[in-house]
Structures are given as C-alpha cells and as structure tokens.
A and B are shown apart, each in its own frame.
Chain A
Amino acid sequence: MNRRVFFLIPLVVFLILTGYFAVGLTKDPKRLPSMLEGKPVPDFDLKPIKGRDNKGFASTDLKGSVALVNIFGSWCVACRAEHPFLMDLKESGAVTIHGIDWREEDPDAGAAWLKKHGDPYALVGDDPKSRAAIAFGVTGAPETFLVDAKGVIRHKIVGPLDKKIWENTVKPMIERLRKVGAS
C-alpha cells in the first residue's frame, strides 16, 4: 500500500468526527426522549392536596376523554411563568387539565399557591415523594403530558407550556385524537 495513505488517515478521522460534531451541535440535549409516549399512563393514586378538595387524582381518572396532566410545584419558578397560560387554557375550555403537585415541603403550600395565582386544574393529586413523578419519568417541573381518551400518553412537553407550543403542537394533536376517538 502506498505509504502516503497512512498519513491521510488522521485527517479523514478528524473530518468524520467534525461532521458528527456539526450535527450534534444543532441538537438540544436537554430534551430527554420520553419512554412513555405511546404507552398507557402509569398506575398512580394520589391523595388530594390539603386545603383544596378531597377528590385526589388517580390514573383511572384519565380514561374517557383527552386531557393534559401538568406537573407543578409551588417552589417551581418556571411553573409560575407557565401558570397564566394554563389559566387562559382553562378559560377557553379547550381541554381538561389535571395537576400533580410535586414535592411540596409544606403540605399547605400547593393549595395556597393555587388560591393566589388561580386554579386551572380539574383534579389535583399530591405527590410529595415523587412517586407519580418518577412513574411518569419526570425530570423537572413543569412537564405536561397529553393523554388520550384511552389513557395512553401521546406527547410530553418539557418546560413551560406556552401559546406557541399549544398552537403548533398540542392543539392539532388534541383535535386529531378527538377525531379518531369519535369515529
């Protein structure tokens, strides 16, 4: 073999690596793929949060209609930013939103927070020990799951849900799911 070829190898290896780098840089590593998209919601049965109602929230509540499940906490700054949009969404009546109040250190904090900023949720479950959060594969709040009428997770939104994500992704998905469910 020509001796020159050996001297080309380092350059070729480097160029291949660079190619991968260039592609890699365009990706957002924060986004973990959800293991659960396309799978039924995990089993959970959460107690109500203190001072709101006494219904609680369980996986069985998710059968029958399309709904959003929103993971939030009174300690979570991004949830505070997301909150007004959830309120708008509730006002519009576009979809039912359920909440999982995650890791409250003070059991009264969740209800107080909802009282202060408004309560967009139909059902709220208390998840002080991350049981449901881990079952959903949650890494941080807020996260929102779109669940269809059969109780199957269809989509996961990491970080605050806003108008843009809603209009571009979630709303069309809900419309499609409803159509499929009706037919």
Chain B
Amino acid sequence: MRYLILFLGLLVFASPVSAVDPSEMLSNSLMETRAREISKGLRCVVCQNQSIDDSDAALARDLRVLVRERLVAGDSDNEVVEYVVSRYGDFVLLKPPFKGATLVLWGGPVLFVLIAFFAGLGFYRRQRRGAPSKPAAVALSNTERARLNDLLDKDGS
C-alpha cells in the first residue's frame, strides 16, 4: 500500500478536498491575505510536500487557525513564522532560510551558472587556440565525408 501512495507521487498531494475553510477565514481581508501568504510558506508537517494552505490534514487546519489568531493578536508576519519555526524547526519552511546548513543549496545554482559560463568560455578559448589539438582518432574516410556532405546538402538546412 505504501508504494501505491508513493506511486507517481503526485499522489503525495492526495488530499483532495483542499484547505482553507470559510469558517477559518478572517473577516479582515487584509489580514486574511497575510494569513494566506504565511500559510503558503509553511509546510504541513504531516504531509509530504504540501503547504498548510493546501492541506486538509487536521494539524494543518489547526496551524492555519493558529496563524490567524496570532495575526489578530497583533503579531507581525515574521513573528508568526518564527513561532512556528521555534516549534518545528526550519523543516516547516518551504523556502529554506539562508544559513550555514543551506549554503550549498542556495550557492549551488549560482555555482552551476558560473561553471556553465566558464565551461562555455573555456570551450571557445580552446577552439580558438587551434583545436582540434589532435586529429580525430577515427576520422571519417574521404568517401564517407563526401557521402555525408552530399546528404546534408540535400536536406538543405
């Protein structure tokens, strides 16, 4: 059964009737918007990869209500998030914070871009320096090349 649930994993969203219920919603629409935004960034700890805003798990619902109560009590958005983090850790943040443990995570893509950039640069440099440095190990024979050019020309692109 476990594999079934994991299967094709979209199923981790397998909670069909979603989320926010009118009875939880705040009448102050500005505050409700803030609550929705906060909820979208908090992970439902009993679900796989779902925010509490999307989840219909009971605990997610209680967390949504808690978020709203704290907002009504005058907490700032940050204070609400910090409270939840103080209870469940960074794990509840769908957007991981910038810190030591996530240095590689956030730095990685930047590094990849740099690698790609320098790899491209290196490629063109190498080419300009008169590469191919060595003749192809198994080059096409002249007849092959002629036949190939012939075909490529025929395709006309």
Given contacts A139-B45, A139-B46, contact A134 B89 (CB under 8 A): no
CA distance A63 to B49 in the complex (A): 38
Interface of chain A, main secondary structure: loop
Complex CA–CA separation, A136 to B87 (angstroms):
6
> Is the CB of B58 closer than 8 A to any CB of chain A?
yes
Q: A96-135, CB under 8 A of B: which get 1 and which 0?
A: 0000000100000000000000000000000001110111
Contact sample, A vs B, 30 pairs, CB 8 Å cutoff: A32-B45, A32-B89, A32-B91, A33-B89, A35-B85, A35-B86, A35-B87, A35-B88, A35-B89, A36-B87, A103-B58, A103-B62, A129-B62, A129-B65, A130-B58, A130-B59, A130-B63, A130-B66, A131-B62, A131-B66, A133-B59, A134-B62, A134-B66, A134-B87, A135-B87, A136-B87, A137-B88, A137-B89, A139-B46, A140-B46
A32 to B91 CA separation, bound complex (whole angstroms): 8
Kindly report which residue of chain A lies nearest to residue B84, judged by CB atoms. Answer: A134
Q: Which A residues lie within 8 Å of B66 (CB)?
A: 130-131, 134
CA separation between A130 and B86, bound complex, in Å? 16
Among candidates A32, A103, A131, residue contacting B88 with C-beta atoms closer than 8 Å = A32
Bound CA–CA A47/B4 (angstroms): 41
**A33→B91 CA distance, assembly (Å):** 9
Question: Which residues of chain B come closer than 8 Å to A140, judged between CB atoms?
Answer: 46, 59
Question: Within 8 Å CB of B58, what residues of A?
Answer: 103, 130
Interface range on chain A (Cβ under 8 Å from partner): 10 to 19
Check: B133 CB closer than 8 A to any chain A CB: yes
Chain B nearest CB from A97 CB (Å) reads 22
Whole-angstrom CA separation of A135 from B59 in the bound complex: 12
Q: In chain A, what residue has the closest Cβ to B89?
A: A35
Q: Is A179 an interface residue (CB 8 A)?
A: no
Q: Is A27 among interface residues, defined by CB-CB distance under 8 A? A: no
A42 (CB) vs chain B CBs: closest residue: B87
A3 interfacial by beta-carbon distance below 8 Å: yes
- Report B-chain residues with C-beta under 8 Å of the C-beta of A130: 58-59, 62-63, 66
B85, closest chain A residue (CB):
A35
